[in-house]
Amino acid sequence: MPILRNPCYAARVFLFIIAAANFFNSQKYNCMSTLLTVGSVAFDAIETPFGKIDKIVGGAATYASLSASYFTKPINIVSVVGDDFPADMIAEFNKRGINTEGLQIKQGEKSFFWSGKYHADMNTRDTLDTQLNVLLNFDPIIPEGMATCEFLLLGNLLPQVQMTVLERMAKRPKLVVMDTMNFWIDTQYDALMKMIPLTDVLSINDEEARLLSKEYSLRKAAKIIMAMGPKTLIIKKGEHGALLFNGNNVFFAPALPLEEVFDPTGAGDTFAGGFIGYLAKTGDISFDNMKRAIIFGSAMASFCVEKFGPERLLSLTDKEITARVNDFYDLVEFDLIDALNI
């Protein structure tokens, strides 16, 4: 029944091309919502099989806010750096609509520093060095204008700090997305168990989901974790894509099979930034829209890994993002009607 299939497909391609040109900077999203990102802004030293860089700007809030800035403005950052942090990077943030009023600069102190080396498979890495520096006593002060943000992304931080941020919001945000890591599951379990129930969307990787739920099957793990409180759970599987759970609904976003993965640093935060940025732009937190948001997040992450650090996130165009999202569509698109040949 090509009469049915082709108009749908042709309409998609046609409308998509027209729409793409207008999507990113359109004014029609009067629902465009304010977004607050809390997380590290830091320096990284990275070694991959493709090269080595001794000092590059990194941190969860850096990747997430750069990623989100392609969807919504302003992005607000709450974080802390030392006086070693480059002023031109702050200027770059501002140029991109990232408000750094909540970025504390501690005189005489050094920024958070992480150093890691990736194995040949690019999926596993060794942490060579972690210097908390300014993050050690981070007090997340939220400028007054940011305390009413509707979308809140809590990057991977001490659960108590995440809790403090939430308590300091003037009103409960419309959507709280949080990340955490195995280190906090192991060492801050009780604090984490107070924070997780306050979250709408928990975004963790497969290893963390298994650790948190004590269950190997990700489907079972998801049930256990959602029973802890979050209505929605994202399980990131790196090069194997990501799963989105909500009640009995499950959606799978593939990862694009790339020829080269140059540097995976920040991919998870870039993913989270694209996810919440898309939701903030559209103002729609339905499951169907989260499916789209996770595809946009995956597209942003697929760019992130193409160059060292956040470099690729500084040179993207809306057209490239649209084309990449279309690649994701094509990657999994198949026609069931034709499958049954009616």
Question: Which residues contact a copy of itself by CB under 8 A?
Answer: 1, 4, 8, 11-12, 15-16, 18-20, 22-23, 28-29, 120-122, 216-220, 237, 240-241, 243, 250-254, 257-261, 282, 288-289, 291-292, 295-296, 325-326, 329, 331-332, 334-342
Residue 21 or residue 136: which is nearer to a copy of itself going by CB?
21
What Cα–Cα distance (Å) separates residue 131 from each residue in 57, 77, 114, 135?
Answer: 14, 21, 6, 9
Q: How far is the CB of 16 from a copy of itself (least distance, A)?
A: 6
Q: How far is the CB of 220 from a copy of itself (least distance, A)?
A: 6
Between CA 333 and CA 330 the distance in angstroms is 5
Residue 198 or residue 250: which is nearer to a copy of itself going by CB?
250
Q: How far is the CB of 314 from a copy of itself (least distance, A)?
A: 24
Look at residues 297, 324, 281 and name the one whose alpha carbon lies nearest to residue 64. Answer: 297
Supply the DSSP symbol for 116. Answer: E
Q: How far is the CB of 311 from a copy of itself (least distance, A)?
A: 20
Instruction: Report the run of H or E that residue 281 belongs to, with start and end.
Output: helix 267-282
Residue at 46: amino acid letter: I
Between CA 292 and CA 112 the distance in angstroms is 33
Angle at 287 between CA 281 and CA 289, to 5 degrees: 30
Q: How far is the CB of 197 from a copy of itself (least distance, A)?
A: 24
What Cα–Cα distance (Å) separates residue 59 from each residue in 248, 280, 335?
Answer: 34, 21, 41
What Cα–Cα distance (Å) separates residue 305 from each residue in 69, 97, 217, 236, 294?
Answer: 18, 23, 28, 15, 17
Residue 38 or residue 324: which is nearer to a copy of itself going by CB?
324
Look at residues 268, 292, 327, 234 and name the one whose alpha carbon lies nearest to residue 71. Answer: 292
Residue 155 or residue 273: which is nearer to a copy of itself going by CB?
273
Q: How far is the CB of 177 from a copy of itself (least distance, A)?
A: 19
